[in-house]
Chains A and B, each alone.
Chain A
């Protein structure tokens, strides 16, 4: 007889174990790893996200603003905005310092835009890693 699938379903670990770690990992890329005493991994993650974000800025990539409309527009603009936002403090500093690059044609600008979103996506991977370390699923 097969085991009850409801029993096999994992319960979510207590919020106090991981919420502050994930929040710090989002706001300061690599910060969650520093908090969890993994400084080398944290430094490498900080460096990778920062370098990718700065390269995106130097290529004059555009930051997304959330827009809705047809499905494709919503996916691209809302998804892009979430990707930008995932870079945490780098995104906020950039906006606060007045970076406002319009979306123009050209492969360099295009790569820049993708690098800015890519930096956020890398940070999401780092946040998931920090979560797994915080709840004990990973060393």
Chain B
């Protein structure tokens, strides 16, 4: 079985899983962990779109 994902789907999956682990290992309470995981995920997604646009504009 082979999985074929787009760049976007693979990067989102990576961001999701990594954010959960970063939330668990860096904060002390559950509330802080959830907030930090969401924050990390949003940062990943922001970087994904930002770098995506930079590459798009850089290749025009």
Interface residues of A in 108-139 (CB under 8 A from B): 108, 111, 114-115, 118, 122, 125-126, 128-129, 138-139
Cβ contact of A125, chosen from B2, B4, B5, B21, cutoff 8 A: B21
Contact A122-B21, Cβ < 8 Å, known A107-B7, A138-B28: yes
A114 to B14, CA, bound (A): 9
A77 to B27, CA, bound (A): 32
| Interchain CB contact under 8 A, B25 and A126 | yes
A66 to B13, CA, bound (A): 27
Contact A48-B2, Cβ < 8 Å, known A107-B7, A138-B28: no
| Interchain CB contact under 8 A, B17 and A52 | yes
B28 partner residues in chain A, CB cutoff 8 A: 138-139
Q: How does the 8 Å CB contact mask read for B1-35 relative to A, with 1 for contact and 0 for none?
A: 11111010010011001101110110010000000
| Interchain CB contact under 8 A, A48 and B7 | no
Q: What's the count of A-B pairs with C-beta under 8 Å? A: 54
B20 partner residues in chain A, CB cutoff 8 A: 44, 48
A52 to B18, CA, bound (A): 9
Cβ contact of A115, chosen from B4, B14, B25, cutoff 8 A: B14
The number of residues on chain A lying at the interface, defined by a beta carbon within 8 Å of a beta carbon of chain B, is 24
B13 partner residues in chain A, CB cutoff 8 A: 55
Chief secondary structure at chain A's binding surface? helix
Interface residues of A in 53-70 (CB under 8 A from B): 55, 58-60
| Interchain CB contact under 8 A, B2 and A58 | yes
A41 located at the interface, meaning its Cβ lies under 8 Å from any Cβ of chain B in the complex: yes
A51 located at the interface, meaning its Cβ lies under 8 Å from any Cβ of chain B in the complex: yes
Q: Could you list 15 A-B pairs, sorted by A, with CB under 8 Å? A: A44-B21, A48-B21, A49-B21, A59-B3, A59-B4, A59-B5, A107-B7, A107-B10, A108-B5, A111-B5, A111-B7, A115-B10, A118-B18, A122-B17, A122-B21
Q: A52-B17, A108-B4, A125-B21 are in contact. List 12 more A-B contacts (CB 8 A).
A: A41-B24, A48-B20, A51-B17, A52-B14, A58-B1, A111-B14, A115-B14, A118-B17, A118-B18, A122-B17, A122-B18, A125-B22
